Amino acid sequence: MERPERLIVDGRRLDGRRPDELRPLQIKAGVLKRADGSAYVELGKNKVLVAVYGPKEMHPRHLQQSDVAVLRCRYNMAPFSVEERKRPGPDRRSIEISKVVREALEPVLFLHLYPRAAIDVFIEILQADAGTRTTGITAAAVALADAGIPMRDLVAGISVGKADGTVLLDLMKEEDQWGEADMPIAVMPRRKLVTLLQMDGNFTPDEFRQALDLAFKGIERVYEAQKRALREKYVPASEEER
How crowded is residue 99: how many other Cβ atoms within 10 Å of its Cβ? Answer: 12
Distance in Å from the first CA to the final CA of the chain: 56
- Which helix (H) or strand (E) is 39 found in, with range? strand 37-43
Give 47's strand partners.
42, 127
**Segment lying near ligand ADP (by CB under 6 A), choices 7-15, 124-132, 144-152, 210-218:** 124-132
- Nearest approach in angstroms of CB 80 to ligand ADP is 11
- Nearest approach in angstroms of CB 99 to ligand ADP is 13
Nearer residue to ligand ADP within complex by CB, 137 or 147: 137
Nearest-angstrom CA–CA distance, 183 and 200: 6
**Quick check: 184 binds ligand ADP (CB under 6 A)?**
yes
**Quick check: 132 binds ligand ADP (CB under 6 A)?**
yes
Q: Which of 71, 34, 58, 22 is nearest to 215 (CA)?
A: 22
Judged by CB under 6 A, the chain residues 66 through 95 that form the site for ligand ADP are 82, 84, 86, 93
**Quick check: 128 binds ligand ADP (CB under 6 A)?**
yes
Per CB under 6 A, the list member of 120, 124, 174, 176 interacting with ligand ADP is: 176
Give 70's strand partners.
118
DSSP letter assigned to residue 110: -
**Quick check: 140 binds ligand ADP (CB under 6 A)?**
no
Residues in contact with ligand ADP by the rule CB under 6 A: 82, 84, 86, 93, 128-133, 159, 173, 176, 182, 184
